[in-house]
Amino acid sequence: MPQNYAYIRVSTKDQNERRQLIALKPYSIKKQNIYIDKQSGKDFDRPQYQKLLKKLKKDDLLYIKSIDRLGRNYSEILEQWRILTKQIGIDIVVIDMPLLDTRRGKDLMGTFLSDIVLQILSFVSENERSNIKQRQAEGIAAAKAKGIRFGRPPKPIPDNFYLVYRQWKKGTLTGSQAAKECGMPLSTFRYRVNCFEKVI
């Protein structure tokens, strides 16, 4: 007997899948038939998705909230759609996009329209991902140009740095000894010396 399944994906372990679970509630899908991955949609090498693929049988029905929950790579979404609908022979319902319901329009025109909508949405999804990356890169470059530094703020220079620096400069301490006196790695000591000598 055909079964109803659902697939949920959030991009990171910190994100909450609750919104997608709420969207699936009206469809009364058994808890054990809901598969959830918490990782990027850049490819389909995801443990729960792979488990779901092994479970699906011909005439089963798969619900997903939106096409980008399935994945974010344009060509791979199309390939997975083909595997699911043509190779395995299941139906798919994309809740946020009623046109992407393979139960409707099983005739040539219905399939044609569904394929066109899928291709457009997959392209838009991947294009938006590229735009986000570009905007992030531009934002970081603009911030760096304004002198904004990223990452953890550097630790304050220890109180004994100047004294140790003078001893190192005189040759009474090696670089390793000086770094140890300041409680920092040798590379950090050299970096601090370099910064210090630029301002004196």
Indicate which residues carry an active-site annotation.
Answer: 11
In whole angstroms, how large is the CA radius of gyration of the chain? 28
Q: Write out the two tokens for 143.
A: 């911030």
Q: Write out the two tokens for 27.
A: 């469809």
Task: Give DSSP secondary structure letters for 72-104.
Answer: S-HHHHHHHHHIIIIII--EEEETT-TT-BTTS
Q: In what order do the strands lie in the sheet with 91-94?
A: 34-38, 4-10, 61-64, 91-94
Mapping DSSP to helix (H, G, I), strand (E, B) and coil, where does residue 23 land?
helix
Rounded Cα–Cα distance for residues 115 and 78 (Å): 9
Phi, psi angles (nearest 5°) of residue 25: -55, -45
